[in-house]
A and B are shown apart, each in its own frame.
Chain A
Amino acid sequence: MTSYRFGTVPEVVEKLGSVDYLSDESIATVVYLADRLGKPVLVEGPAGTGKTELSKAVASILGANLIRLQCYEGLDEAKALYEWNYKKQLLRIQAEQGREMSWEDVETNIFTEDFLLERPLLAALRATEPTVLLIDEIDKVDFEFEGLLLELLSDFQVSIPEMGTVVATKIPMVFLTSNNSRELSEALKRRCLYLYLDYPTIERERAIVLSRVPELPETLADQIVRLVRSIRQMELKKAPSIAETLDWARTLLHLGITELDADAARTTLTVLLKFQTDVEKVAGHLQIPPRPSDN
């Protein structure tokens, strides 16, 4: 009988809330099912909506180690799974020189635990402690590597030719995040549960802002999230993320602003927006007159 990590969906919501990750029912359902079905979760969505945060929060409520594999183009088995420490092996062979040893002896000597460099994926498989594996920005890797992941994520085992097959002692919770810079293969998607993290609703974002910046007056928080929502509906080069909303809230707090007016918005808009054209467009939409010094 396998033991599950979570009892019910509301329990997940509550636990995530206790580590300041404000989820909703659909997020919690996916996390809950990932545990129950033993399946990895593929998390997609715009930048800065808490994709990476989610796996950190899950690790934290489970008291688990978070093992993180940051993906990039050209990532290969040697960097992600395991590698033989060939420099150490060479040294060993040289040290053994002169002594009478058969090839078999040498081989069994140098392909052992001592010479194995464990990389994140293997580490997650062999972990005896509770573990959450985060594979970040999976859309950056090449197709070949996706194939390797596929095998790993469906069976949770991997074979090392010199040592035999490593099977996961306990299936870890796995999160993959993607910024959707390319389509992932159908096969990989089929193996995963899917979660799309969009910009939060006004209510949820207000709660997030208030929990992260507790000193903020509620009315100001309300104005902030509504203005941000307004801005996100425009066609911009880069829409503000949750992280930027939080930055903005902190900025206003530090400046001692208690009510958001045109003046406050104009001077701090650059915290929220990262392109000059976007700043101008938003200022126009909100009918904020340009800075006097700009004229």
Chain B
Amino acid sequence: MLPRILDFTHALRDAGVPVAISEDLDALRALAHIPIEDKEAFRASLATTMIKTEAHRPAFDTLFDLYFGAGRGPKALEERDEADGEPGTEEEYLDDLFRALLSGDSQALRDLARRAVARFGRVESERAGSPYFEYRVFRVVDMNTMLGRLMRDMEEGLTPLEERMWRDEFEARLRKFREEVQAEVRRRLAEYKGAEQVSKHAVRPLPEDLDFVRATRDEILQLRRAIGPLARRLATRLAMKKRHARKGRLDVRRTVRASLSTGGVPFDTRFKHRTVHKPELFILCDISGSVAAFARFTLMFVHAFQAQFSRVRSFVFVDTLDEVTRLFDNEDFLVAVDRMNQEADVVWLDGHSDYGTSLDRFWKQYGNDLSRRASVLVLGDARNNYRESAAWVIKEMRKKAKRVYWLNPEPAMYWDTGDSIASEYARNADGMIEVRNLRQLEDFIARVV
């Protein structure tokens, strides 16, 4: 057992979960107190001693499954599959699944996931590695058809409210089933190649580390969920920093007043607080296809802690620019970001990024609104389709505003390749910063605000 646990710890560390030696020891100590054959108690004991942030929990669960799931080799796997008995027809399987989903029996769903992988997931191939694949299963089990079938079964005099509730419920059960299938495929892969090999690729990156531009649909949902808590945490940190920074001169009057209760001895010293002016923020976002996701996340993030600024003005552009501040005024910023795409007037010519025209337009129309209390953020990859750069606007902005930063979602090594004119803008701004994920965005904002 001990070597297995140590291997497991190593895999956790490789996946970016810091497990200290003292935590390892705590885990071993904890195991002395629980019945080790009780798998859930075993899992809970390792988790509570090794995992100290909820964000690390999915990685822990995935790896736990791999390391303590089965591990007897492909041979045992096939024997177990055979022990499951004679498989019925495809229809029969789907009927079984339908019934399990309808009743919400989670044990049955787990068994069915296992059966599905054994039955439909296998691909006969000569290559080394596991012959089981997730996509094969979902070729047979179509999630949408299944959902439709479930809903049809319910549709006897349901009110819209009830219908909605059942739909949400079934969707959750189907998601659960999909996760079970994925876990089963991973476990089987581990039987063939060993847990060590599989664990390297099995763990998905934390939401903070997901690349904005490359995120899949599921990952984008995760990202949206991560924004709120992250922004709140950052806002608290910034507020604390400000409060500490503003301790000012000794307040003589209040110190003397406070000393009266101690017989004139000034035990408590009181200080005057300096008021700190909040900056105004101008955000200019390129929302053309390639970098739209990045612009959306940055806008959401910034609006999530609007209280830090006296005012946030948002502008979006593709080949011309439009102000969208009003959308964010008293609306949910998640909705605002979605509406922005439809309502902003940003395409003038052909829908390819034109930084020159857009910057030029900003300067003519809104340039006078900039003051020493304003900070400007420009968001985009600086890929200008070989058009006029108008970098002079950035230079002028910098003269009027407090600071001008450019956030670029491309890896720095690609800057200035092809039609990117990153350095032309970077020269004129206070800095161009690579921001590819939430973590980098958080770092940047913490540093400059």
Contacts and interface: CB of A to CB of B under 8 A. Distances in A.
B332 A180 contact: no
A274 interface: no
B26 A37 contact: yes
Contact of A9 (B20, B41, B48, B159): B41
Contact of B225 (A29, A45, A195, A235): A235
Nearest to B30: A33
B141 to A, nearest CB: 22
Nearest to A27: B44
Nearest to B164: A286
A267 interface: no
Contact of A277 (B44, B243, B331): B331
Contacts of B224: 235
Contacts of B38: 9
B160 A262 contact: yes
Interface in A80-101: 86-87, 90
B26 A186 contact: no
A42 B30 contact: no
Contacts of B413: none
Nearest to A234: B168
Contact of A30 (B48, B172, B233, B243): B48
A183 B47 CA distance: 19
A32 interface: yes
A90 B263 CA distance: 10
A26 interface: yes
Nearest to B160: A287
Contact of B33 (A33, A183, A229): A33
Contact of B44 (A29, A233, A262): A29
Nearest to A230: B168
Contacts of B243: 73
Interface stretch (B51-59, B95-103, B282-290, B374-382): B51-59
Contacts of B164: 230, 285-287
A122 to B, nearest CB: 22
Interface string A203-231: 00000000000000000000100110110
A64 interface: no
Which interface residue of A9, A29, A233, A265 has the most chain B CB atoms within 10 A?
Answer: A29
Contacts of B51: 194
A226 B22 contact: no
A261 interface: yes
A39 interface: yes
